[in-house]
A and B are shown apart, each in its own frame.
Chain A
Amino acid sequence: EVQLVESGGGPVKPGGSLRLSCEASGFTFRSYAMNWVRQAPGKGLEWVSAISGSSSDRHYADSVRGRFTISRDNAENSLYLQMNSLRAEDTAVYYCVRVLGGPPAAAGAGWFDPWGQGTLVTVSS
């Protein structure tokens, strides 16, 4: 069974840092681009970041560029999101997603399946 399990969320003060992890199983992890998508409480979905299977391509939403860093460890079947200089508006459930299909030249762009269960990040003083 293809599965994604996130961890690392929790409360953090504005300006603080947090590292999210996503453990993948049931598929050849290194063969797939992976993304992070977030959802603020009661709001819609927002794409955050993407990374290619080899880590050669990484992309970020304007709202997090320069503060967040996406990475992966293919030997450990794990995806990460290092979040620095956190703001109240970063409060959200963060989902790890596998990328399928999409434009061949655009690593990380495609449809998302499956989604992890999400991990909640709360930025508040």
Chain B
Amino acid sequence: EIVLTQSPGTLSLSPGERATLSCRASQSVSNNYLAWYQQKPGQAPRLLIYGASRRATGIPDRFSGSGSGTDFSLTISRLEPEDFAVYYCQQYDSSITFGPGTKVDIK
């Protein structure tokens, strides 16, 4: 099983700042089979990024994904008030596993 580790656990930032979230895999994720989701309180997760770097339909371009192999990241270039949420990475190379999440909260 591929275990995903996300860091930091919590990221405290102000609106307008840049957020960089990390997702590390216990073994290489082939073909960049990695996705990112955003979840707000009381809501279902929403797809942001798939294939490590491809934005889903309707996702603003301030969200970007990068990485390969075992190290991936999600960057939010300038935080908007609606971006404060929990973010999960997911690999779909070997079965399906999720990372534990990173909470982005308001500083």
Contacts and interface: CB of A to CB of B under 8 A. Distances in A.
Interface of A: 35, 44-47, 50, 59, 95, 100-103, 106, 108-118
A115 B31 CA distance: 24
Interface stretch (B17-25, B67-75, B85-93): B85-93
B95 A118 contact: no
Contacts of A59: 95
Nearest to A117: B44
Main secondary structure of the interface of B (DSSP, over half): loop
Main secondary structure of the interface of A (DSSP, over half): strand
A60 B33 CA distance: 20
A53 B100 CA distance: 29
Interface residues of B, number: 22
A101 B44 contact: no
A114 B38 CA distance: 12
Given A111-B47, A111-B50, A116-B44, A45 B33 contact: no
Contacts of A35: 96
17 contacts: A44-B99, A45-B45, A45-B101, A46-B98, A100-B50, A102-B92, A103-B31, A103-B33, A103-B93, A109-B92, A109-B96, A110-B92, A111-B35, A111-B47, A111-B50, A113-B47, A115-B45
